[in-house]
Amino acid sequence: MLQTVTASRLLGVVEERMAEPTARGLAAAVGRAVGEGRLADGDKLPPIRTVATQLGLSPTTVSAAWGLLARAGTVRTDGRRGTVITVRAVGPSRYRSALTGGKLFAQDLSTGTPDPALLPDLRAALRRVVPPAEPATYLDDPVLPELADLLRADWPFRAERLTVVDGAMDALHLIATTHLRLGQRVAVEQPCFPPLLDLLDAVGAVPVAVEVDDDGPLPGQVAQALAVGAEALFLQPRGQNPSGASLTPERVARLAAILRDADVLVVEDDSAGAVAATPALSLGDALPDRTLHVRSYSKSHGPDLRLAALGGPAALVDPVVDRRFLGQGWTSRLLQRVLVDLLTHAPSVRAVQRAQREYARRRAAVVGALARAGVPVGGKDGLNIWVPVLDEQAAVLLLATRGIGVSAGRPFAVRPGQAPHLRVTVGLVAAGHAELAAALADASRAGPRAAAR
Ligand SMILES: Cc1ncc(COP(=O)(O)O)c(C=O)c1O
C-alpha cells in the first residue's frame, strides 16, 4: 500500500531543508529528506497544485522539481498513482549488462580487460619484495614514500597531494561520495564507461551527456553542459573506454578556456595508464585548483593489484583521504611495495613498454582491416574499439554464432538516441586480426535494417 504524504507533512519536512524557493531548491530539499529517512520508499507525494499552494511556489516550479527528482531516480511518476518516492536498489546494472558472460565464447572480447600475457611477472615481483621488519601500522603514512616519489616524478601536473587507492573505480567512488550531491548535474562523456553511470545513479547525480570525437569531449558541448548547470566534468584523458579518444594539447587548451571561469570539479580517469600510446595530458596544468587526476595500474600491471593513484589539490584530495579513514583507511602498503618494485625493476618496466606497443599494434591491425572493409572506426588508443553497426542485437548475435563475445553499445549510452555500436576489446587479440575484422564487418551490416536497404 502506498502511503500518501499529507501536504502539511511535506511542508514541514521540506521547509526546514529548502535553501532557496526554486525547483532545484525544492528537489534538493526532498532529496535530503529522503537521504535522512524522513521520506521513505513508496511515499506518495501530494498533487503538484497542492504542494505549490502549501509552499507558496508556482506549479511550474514544483513540476520542474519533480522532473529533477525523477531524473535523479528519487521519484517516479506513474500516471494515476501520481509521484512516488523511490529509494532504489543501487548496483552495477549497466556494468553487468555490458559484459556478455564470456565463458560461452571461444573468444570473449566483451571484457575491457588487459591480456594476462602482456602483464609484468607478478610472481617474480612477489618473490623480490621483502616486507619491512617492523610491520606497518594504522598510524603510518597511507602512501609509501618511495611510491609517492615515483608518482610525483611521473604525474602529468604538479599535484599538491597524491594518494593511493584500490583501483580507479575506488577513486571514482570515493570522489563521487565525497564531492557530489544528490541532484547535482555532472557532465560525462557520451559514450561513457558504464560503471561511472551506475555510480552517478547510486549517488543521485544527474549525468549530462557530452559527446566525444577522437580528441576527447567536444568543447561546444562542454560549454552547453555548463550552461545547463553541470558542476562537474568526468572525462578519460586517453584511450577512452569505449571510443579510444585521447586528448590533444589543443583540446586541453580549449577545454581549459571554457572551464576556467566556471566553478567546476574536473575528474580525469586515466584507466589505460602506462599501456596507453598517447601522452598523459591533463587539465590539471591549467586548472590545478579543481582537477582530480586518477591513474590506474590495472591495465598496465594487473587488475588484481587493485591499485590506482589519485592526485590533485589538497582541498579536494584531503576530504577523500579523510573519508576513507571511515572505511578501508588506506591501501595495503604490501601491495604498494609490489608496485614500487614493478615500476623500478628494469625487466618489468620493459614488459609494460612492450605491452604498450603490442596493444597499439593489435588495435591498428583490426582498425586497418576494418577500414579496408568499409567500416570506419574512430579513436586512437586503448584496449577497445567502438564499432558502428546497423543493429546492436543482430550484430552481437551474429558474432556469438561465430564464438565471439562483444558488448552492445547500449550500456555505454548516457541518453537515448546513441547511434548503434559495439565495444570490442581488441587488446586481447594477439593474432587473426584480419579474420576478426571480417567478422566485425559482417556484424556491422547485420540486422533487420540491413534487409530494408
Ligand atoms: C574508464 C575506466 N575507468 C575505470 C576502470 C576500472 O579500473 P580499476 O581496475 O583501476 O578500478 C576501467 C576498467 O576497465 C575503465 O575502463
**287 Cβ contact list (under 8 Å, min separation 6):** 256, 259, 260, 266
In angstroms and rounded to an integer, the radius of gyration of the C-alpha atoms of the chain is 24
Extents of the domains making up the chain: 3-85, 93-116+348-452, 134-343
Architecture of the CATH domain 134-343 = 3-Layer(aba) Sandwich (3.40)
* 93-116+348-452 carries CATH number 3.30.70.1880: no
Q: Which of 169, 170, 197 to mutate to test the pocket of ligand 1 (most atoms within 8 A of CB)?
A: 169
Residue 41: pLDDT above 60?
yes
Query: Ligand 1 in contact with 120 (CB < 6 A)?
Result: no
Residue 452: pLDDT above 60?
no
Q: Which of 296, 306, 384, 407 to mutate to test the pocket of ligand 1 (most atoms within 8 A of CB)?
A: 296
pLDDT of residue 287: 98
| Alpha-carbon distance values, 272 to 158, 252, 294, 446 (Å) | 20, 18, 10, 31
- pLDDT category of residue 100 using cuts at 50, 70 and 90: low
CB 342 within 8 A of CB 372: no
Q: Which range is least confidently modeled, 70-79, 178-187, 439-448? A: 70-79
DSSP assignment of 264-317 equals -EEEEEE-SGGG-SS----TTTT-TTTEEEEEE-HHHH-GGG--EEEEE-HHHH
pLDDT of residue 77: 72
Closest CA to 196 of 296, 67, 93: 93
Residue 94: pLDDT above 80?
no
Between CA 290 and CA 268 the distance in angstroms is 11
Residue 453: pLDDT above 60?
no
Tens-place pLDDT, residues 360-376: 999 999 999 999 999 99
Query: Ligand 1 in contact with 384 (CB < 6 A)?
Result: no
pLDDT of residue 75: 84
Half-sphere exposure of residue 70: CA atoms within 13 angstroms, side-chain side: 13
Tens-place pLDDT, residues 310-348: 999 999 999 999 999 999 999 999 999 999 999 999 999
Q: Which range is least confidently modeled, 159-163, 181-185, 272-276, 347-351? A: 181-185
* CATH number of 3-85, picked from 1.20.1600.10, 2.60.40.2380, 1.10.10.10, 3.40.50.10540: 1.10.10.10
Query: Ligand 1 in contact with 112 (CB < 6 A)?
Result: yes
Distance (angstroms) between ligand 1 centre and the Cα of 15 equals: 41
- Mean pLDDT calculated for residue range 259-269: 96
- Mean pLDDT calculated for residue range 93-110: 76
Distance (angstroms) between ligand 1 centre and the Cα of 197 equals: 13
Query: Ligand 1 in contact with 271 (CB < 6 A)?
Result: yes
Tens-place pLDDT, residues 204-235: 899 999 999 999 999 999 999 999 999 999 99
Residue 412: pLDDT above 90?
yes
Amino acid identity for residue 262 in this structure: A
Q: Which range is least confidently modeled, 25-29, 37-41, 135-139, 401-405? A: 135-139
